[in-house]
Amino acid sequence: MEKTELLSGTLDLLILRVLKSGPVHGFGIGEKIHVLSKEILEVEEGSLYPSLYRMEAKGWIKSDWGQSEKGRRAKIYSLTKNGIRQLDDERESWLRVAFAIGEVLKNA
């Protein structure tokens, strides 16, 4: 069983992407990233929550207290209009850089 990993600088993008499919609570965002990534990516809570606060402070996401699908008290996050724009920017930036790295790695 290989170690799950996370690439520094991509966490915000992943969170924003998950929220684009609809509001999710913090804990659930981490789970969704894990599942969607085929168990390759693992987001530590110590990274997840601080990232959520940063992005809320920047106005990319907003939160409301509510309930998780399991009926527990949970803080539900959703994308703002600025968050949608930020997601588009970060996705494009990711694609550019991933392409560029691919170019350097070519024939490695």
Partner DNA sequence: CTTAATTACCTAGATTATCTAGGTAAAATA
Partner DNA sequence: TATTTTACCTAGATAATCTAGGTAATTAAG
**Which stretches of the chain bind DNA, using CB under 7 A?**
5-6, 8-12, 25-28, 43-47, 49-54, 68-76
User: What tokens appear for 54 in the block?
Assistant: 């940063």
Q: Are the CB atoms for 100 and 81 separated by under 8 Å?
A: no
> Which of 20, 28, 68, 75 lies at the binding interface for a copy of itself (CB under 8 A)?
20
Contact partner, 96, from a copy of itself, DNA, none, Cβ < 5-8 Å per class: a copy of itself
Measure the CA–CA gap between 74 and 63, rounded to whole angstroms.
10
- Tokens 């969704």 — which residue? 32
Binding to a copy of itself (CB under 8 A): which residues in 71-100?
Answer: 87, 91, 93-94, 96-100
Report the nearest approach of a copy of itself to the CB of residue 86 (Å): 12
User: Which of 64, 68, 58, 49 minimizes the C-alpha distance to 11?
Assistant: 49
